[in-house]
Structure 1
Amino acid sequence: MAKKQTMIERTLLAMAVGESLAYLPSSKQEILVHQPDNFTDPLKWGANTSMSLATVSSLSRGYQFNDVMLRLQNWYKRRQYAPAQTIQSIDDVIQSSMLRFSKNRDLLASGGVDEASNSDSVLARMIPVALYLHHRFGSAFINDERAMLLLHRVAGLTHNHEGALVSVGMLSLIISQILDGKNLFDSVENGLAFGFEYYSRHQVFAGELKDFDAMNLPDFSNSSAADFKLDGQASNTLEAVVWSLLNSENYQDALNKALMHGHANTMIPTLAGTLAGIYYKEDEQLNIISQQLVSRKLIISISHLANRLGRFN
């Protein structure tokens, strides 16, 4: 019998599969989602998984703000956590933050604050941070300012726009509810409720909450996939990801729903695939599909380190 996967291992594998799915041509995507037993191509993951591996490697040893950035720098400059065959497509927001830090060495000024920095490219690498916070502080981490400062600071290394930070917070709170064993609808409802309560008390963030109103409506899951505005803004992408999960019945169905937002979109399959892997934790399809991942051993080795040091499980 195969050894049961820990949550951090499953999370990283699910992210790598979701990101790999996003990079496949549409014909291959259809085979992977609907006929996984017939899919034999290598799955090539990318920069979101690499940044998450760097983040997990750092947090496995305990939170050190400077170390998180140094490991991201090692990814950006030296291709650590980015083995051959992976697809390292780096967007302008992340590239600019890496260059700013290289020039100024200021952790609090590396992340972008302009509108372009209200971008969905922050979301994937923050999912392991949500797992770390849930393990360290419990599902009530939103009530601990140390936890929220950690969350916002790690996100702010690349994206320091208030909207991006609120999106990270909402995503993390939803994940925390899932980890507590809530069903998807309750996880979304509770996570958003906690997020609205917290961010409404902080004037610097309160103005961003209007972007989450639609997701907070009781009939949100009945929206059509065509209703979503997919412009790369963090909150808009989060809407599409949450919709994909709420309308899914299993892991593969969540991947299929993610593709309904367009076969060329890379972030939605990455994020929806990761959350589906976390929620549908007994679904064996992820383990089967993940055998096709390039450099799977690197993901497993970093997961095993995290497990051994006990920061995530």
Structure 2
Amino acid sequence: MKKLNMLKMVVVTLLFSMTLIGSMPVETSALSMPLRAVVNGDRLYFPDGQPFVDKQSRIQVPIRFIAEALGVQVSWDGKTKKALFHSGTTKVTLTIGKKEYEVSDKKLNMDTVALLKDGRTYVPARYVAEAFGAAVKWEQVIHTVYVTTQGSTSTPVKPEEKEKGTTTYFDGIPFNNVRDIDEYERMSVDKSEEFVLKLADQLTFVKENGKYVIKCTYPKIPEAYEWSLGVRVHFKKGGYISYSPITNFKENRIPNSGSFTKAVPISNASEVEYFNIIMSVSLKKSLGGTLPQETGAFNIVAEPGVSKSAIYIPQSGEYPQVAYKDFDFNKMFQW
């Protein structure tokens, strides 16, 4: 019976998801949430060693990539185990395993250390970037570090770079109106994923004044786009209730901006069999034809005490699906 119920849940979930985002790839790569590095609006990709957060909660990145991103020269002294960065009059020296480091012959101390891992040299991004006048910001929700070069020691801006649009921050997420869209003016897959992860962090199922409610505060997004959010609560006795901005049932309608609190008509959380949530960022107006207005969506399914999944599903098969194994289900579902 349990297997039959699970099969029914999967079928209904797929139908619900396909209604909102169209067809989707079949295979899913079971990955934990990736650590992203974005420098001056451009995401860095690491073909070999991947960045990670160390025991001191500092972001460690492969030495070569942080140097290239900042436009500085780097050399490695294997005998002394020193990493040397150089640009203009600024020189930075880090020694593997030591908290003391040097910036233009001035000795300073970090709260972590550069280290060797799997035969590669890693350095703490914040200390290297800030030494060269860059600003570093960490967004925990979307697991992203943003590095922005500035001042006289930053990388010179090339003439062609000035044509890459304008970057504006929306609740901590930078969006560039040229680099972060595709040829159809839809939000890029990577940027859409950042925004929906932010929304997922702000959607909760809580109990207030004896009622079981769904609460949400939408993050701000660029003017040309709008949120698409659908929530289905399935019941053990059969049937379900759908909440979305486009439902024909006025009592189940939710906005697609601002905040909302919606009470679910149950007297006990044990009445719920499972939840299905799907969210995406879409263009406000269709460009015609059958082209989807979004580039991907975040699909969350949770059956209390049985199973749960959180998957980002790109529209194009060119990009892999990503399953977020470390998604905070306890924060979202508090009934």
Q: TM-score, normalised by structure 2?
A: 0.25
Structure having the larger proportion of residues in strand: 2
Report 1 or 2 for greater relative contact order, CA contacts < 8 Å, sequence distance ≥ 6: 1
Q: TM-score, normalised by structure 1?
A: 0.26
Structure having the larger proportion of residues in helix: 1
Whose radius of gyration is greater, 1 or 2?
2
